[in-house]
Amino acid sequence: MQFTNKVKSQIDRFAPSDEELAQFLSITQSELDHKKYSPRLVSCGYPYLVVPVWNYDTVRKARFNYAAWSQSVAPQTAAQEIILFAPKSPFPDADFNVRLLGPRIGLHEDPPLVAPCQHFAVIFARSNTLAKAHMCLALIGGKLIRVVA
């Protein structure tokens, strides 16, 4: 099955501070990736906070901390869910690892990524390395996304 969707996106460079991001994701600030990507608010009709981290292990170990979230500037943004991703994966058939977290997502839930997939794609479409490339996304098992340029 192939799914094609044209989206109208809006990106806001405002994002909570690294300290706040680390606190409400229960990770260290050094695990946040600012080299190629940076945290952004992305909306394709429904807003998400998109947060890059360095590696797969950080994506898997992150735990949403509601108390830290409520003390940050994040609740004042329109985004109520977080797309956490790492541009690396231990799996040979995947280039990225993605996970959805937020105040309305349970600790042991692993919701499908079909709806936020377009928001994730916008980050790559706007990055310097893929800005002019045609992109294909493949969802594998609802957890991994492969970008082929």
* Model pLDDT for residues 70-105, shown as the tens digit of each residue: 999 887 788 888 989 888 778 777 777 888 888 877
pTM of the predicted model over 0.85: no
CA-nearest of 111, 83, 112, 108 to 21 is 83
Give the start-to-end residue ranges of the domains of the chain: 10-148
Taking 50 as the pLDDT cut, the residues of the chain under it are 1, 130-131, 139-149
CATH number listed for the domain at residues 10-148: 3.10.310.10
Q: Are 77 and 84 in contact (CB under 8 A)?
A: no
